[in-house]
Structure 1
């Protein structure tokens, strides 16, 4: 005889108080939970109806044919069955159900923050091989639930098999890892650092596990490509760790990238690592050290191997030279950057160059021109860039607004500088891009002498609030 809903809930409450249920939850064994529930009269069909998980999948979990790994599966199970807080915690979930699995990016765009879903999302973005528009981003987020429902099949099954038997890696696994690395580089432009870090770290662990199970063989092209993936992912992890304020972890990731670069004979990875590292001293005002790192990066990069990387590094070199007041060196580096950009196709270059579209390249021009006194050119480029930015590219707006504020300070337009700096600071808070906060702290120091002026005072007050926000954040 089928139980009614009230009776089902009563049985669930009784069973969830049992020690054996707590024990299997500690092992994150949903199959074990299902076996106990059916022992006490809860049918697989009732579990399916309550959780939204297909009955066939519930049966496979019960028999052990499939083992769930995606957080959303555990959440559906716990939410649908009304599991108490202590069991939810054993399953790795928050004590109470809710919408903790998504992150609002901007204007209603929501991105999943579950580690496994982020890996799937990064892989899907990487396979596209082209930038995302906001409408397309929304569509991909909408499709993610269906992708997650298939998490134990197709791509994930291949990766899981490679993790259990690393010697069995094949072209499909490598391509999936390459796509995922490319996708995480794209996600970095759209999401706060802490949102994607766990997914990226899990991805690196999987790549490392596969590599550790394979024998070193210079002739093994698949293994070499996986090492490149490890290097490309490690430089991004170093960059994100810097954003999170963990400089020690960032150095470790960059060291890993350097080892991967050498083993794969891919010096562009080392060049990228030095390029990312240059932002650390630059944020502290040590432009000499930053430029030295960029010089080393350019020396490591073979000519014509990656025009996109050359363009980025040379533009950064120009920016740091301008900050040192060396106009001639800045213009010389800028010319090198411009020539490389004219022949570069960042979308077909390295994964870290895909951020370098016209808007981002022009932002380097704004910074360089502003600091060497070519203010009219700097402001003209800045206004053109801001007008082209989309909602999904809000991180860039903060950087560019900081450059505009710098240009206004140099030009003597204090109120305009304060206005631009305040707008940029709002973007920094919105996108949680703490790596750019030091730039606004420097702006605050430059504007402090005019703190009696209302626009400047308003910016300084918001800067103090923002500094407290980031220092208190668990980033």
Structure 2
């Protein structure tokens, strides 16, 4: 067995490849676990002065972006080295750490045939194989699915680790370069959305710019549609309408019906915001027509959230701004479509419906649904939900006892 293949070398190599100092790595771990993490623990792990215990394994796997089986095997290797007295970690930044840790560890642990073993080979400069490329593309899709349930801060850490991996393998991706560039672009767009959710628009825009660049490099304009759709939430209605019109031009091909439906519904919301009733109704009609041909679970992972309930709630938001006579009926329909799973999509639907009922004059229903929206927002920690509730609070009538009490609940809960 090769020497220096334990957990210390592995974690040091992963950190150096990510371009982080030890304090920065500690901050990264903090973002994953949601509480302070001592930078000295990183140092002790890397130098072999302390071997992680089983209670650390999942945290290490999540924050370093590796499988928990790899952590267990590396720890086992370190313990064996300690028993035989051969633990002699190399100096920080030494070439041997960079060159041999991944491959030596994978071979020593007998993992060369597993996904992380194949990834290790790719990281060492070997050509990326089909299975490894497929694994990374699949991981991107899973992160979009996870976005519906994962707090933004934790998801940001997972996306950072995933993008680090793709960035490392791209130079040797060969025939898989385009698909990995697309996966990287989609992941960067999601990272932008997550950082916007965290209240960091500057970082969000940097991710969006990088995602758009990936779309251009890969010749895949659908990434630009995704970026424009996300960005439209952070600008005024006039600029948003321009973005959404441009975005729709990028998803005209077959297989993008769900994306078209989402972007058209977004256009309807923004047209209604400036009182353009005719344009809003036309955009909603286009959204409904496109959705008739949609397969949210079988098209792009980034539109898997756009289920019937979400389309219905965007209709509610549009009708509320237009004070449309069918507003209350649309709100009833959106609630009927909504399931019970606590996701960020559910937060958006409940927020739209509560506002819709309020505009329609059904204050009691608005308060009842609004309380459900508040509970779901606190559960998922989504900025969009907080913004909807803050807006709702300003509209609740002071003369209505329950509405007044709910307004105070919102302000107390959201600070």
Q: TM-score range by the shorter chain?
A: 0.7 to 0.9
Preserved contact between residue 367 and residue 378 of structure 1 (Cα < 8 Å): no
Preserved contact between residue 242 and residue 435 of structure 1 (Cα < 8 Å): no
Q: TM-score, normalization: structure 1?
A: 0.66
Question: How many Å separate the matches in 2 of 1:322 and 1:457?
Answer: 28
Structure-1 residue corresponding to 2:200? 246
Structure-2 residue corresponding to 1:30? none
Q: Classify the secondary structure of the residue corresponding to 2:376.
A: helix
> Does residue 406 of structure 1 match 2:406?
no
Preserved contact between residue 310 and residue 340 of structure 1 (Cα < 8 Å): yes
Deviation at 1:234, TM superposition (A): 0.6
User: Structure 1 residues 342, 91: closer, same or farther in 2, change over 3 A?
Assistant: farther
1:363-378 matched pairs, under 5 angstroms:
363-372=313-322, 373=324, 374-378=326-330
User: Structure 1 residues 179, 117: closer, same or farther in 2, change over 3 A?
Assistant: farther
Question: How many Å separate the matches in 1 of 2:384 and 2:55?
Answer: 25
Q: TM-score, normalization: structure 2?
A: 0.75
Q: Classify the secondary structure of the residue corresponding to 1:278.
A: helix
Preserved contact between residue 328 and residue 356 of structure 2 (Cα < 8 Å): no
Preserved contact between residue 366 and residue 381 of structure 1 (Cα < 8 Å): no
What do residues 325-348 of structure 1 show as CA deviations (whole Å, max 9, x unaligned)? 222212211121122211122222
Structure-2 residue corresponding to 1:4? none
> Does residue 454 of structure 1 match 2:401?
yes
Q: Classify the secondary structure of the residue corresponding to 1:333.
A: helix
Structure-2 residue corresponding to 1:289? 239
Question: How many Å separate the matches in 2 of 1:113 and 1:311?
Answer: 39
Q: Which residue of the other structure, out of 137, 148, 152, is the alignment partner of 1:178?
A: 137
Structure-2 residue corresponding to 1:383? 335
Question: How many Å separate the matches in 2 of 1:113 and 1:355?
Answer: 28
Q: Classify the secondary structure of the residue corresponding to 2:148.
A: helix
Structure-2 residue corresponding to 1:21? none
User: Structure 1 residues 263, 332: closer, same or farther in 2, change over 3 A?
Assistant: same
Preserved contact between residue 193 and residue 243 of structure 1 (Cα < 8 Å): yes
Q: Classify the secondary structure of the residue corresponding to 2:164.
A: helix
Deviation at 1:231, TM superposition (A): 0.5
What do residues 1-51 of structure 1 show as CA deviations (whole Å, max 9, x unaligned)? xxxxxxxxxxxxxxxxxxxxxxxxxxxxxxxxxxxxxxxxxxxxxxxxxxx
Question: How many Å separate the matches in 2 of 1:445 and 1:294?
Answer: 28
- Give ranges in structure 2 of 5+ residues lacking alignment: 13-37, 75-105
What do residues 138-184 of structure 1 show as CA deviations (whole Å, max 9, x unaligned)? xxxxxxx668657953111111221221x511211110110100010
Structure-1 residue corresponding to 2:96? none
Preserved contact between residue 272 and residue 297 of structure 1 (Cα < 8 Å): yes
Question: How many Å separate the matches in 2 of 1:348 and 1:297?
Answer: 20
Question: How many Å separate the matches in 1 of 2:348 and 2:204?
Answer: 21
Q: Which residue of the other structure, out of 360, 367, 373, is the alignment partner of 1:418?
A: 367
User: Structure 1 residues 401, 100: closer, same or farther in 2, change over 3 A?
Assistant: farther
Structure-2 residue corresponding to 1:332? 282
Structure-1 residue corresponding to 2:392? 443
Q: Which residue of the other structure, out of 212, 228, 238, is the alignment partner of 1:274?
A: 228
What do residues 35-74 of structure 1 show as CA deviations (whole Å, max 9, x unaligned)? xxxxxxxxxxxxxxxxxxxxxxxxx7x9434547589xxx
> Does residue 201 of structure 1 match 2:160?
yes
Structure-2 residue corresponding to 1:116? 62
Question: How many Å separate the matches in 2 of 1:208 and 1:196?
Answer: 18
Q: Classify the secondary structure of the residue corresponding to 1:190.
A: coil
How many residues are treated as equivalent by the alignment? 346
Q: CA RMSD in A?
A: 3.1
Structure-2 residue corresponding to 1:161? 121
User: Structure 1 residues 146, 156: closer, same or farther in 2, change over 3 A?
Assistant: closer
Q: Classify the secondary structure of the residue corresponding to 2:199.
A: coil
Deviation at 1:270, TM superposition (A): 0.4
What do residues 168-210 of structure 1 show as CA deviations (whole Å, max 9, x unaligned)? 1121111011010001000001111112211110110111122
> Does residue 187 of structure 1 match 2:146?
yes
Q: Which residue of the other structure, out of 37, 43, 50, is the alignment partner of 1:90?
A: 43
Deviation at 1:244, TM superposition (A): 0.6
Question: How many Å separate the matches in 1 of 2:302 and 2:56?
Answer: 27
Higher mean C-alpha displacement, 336-345 vs 196-205 = 336-345
Higher mean C-alpha displacement, 288-297 vs 177-186 = 288-297
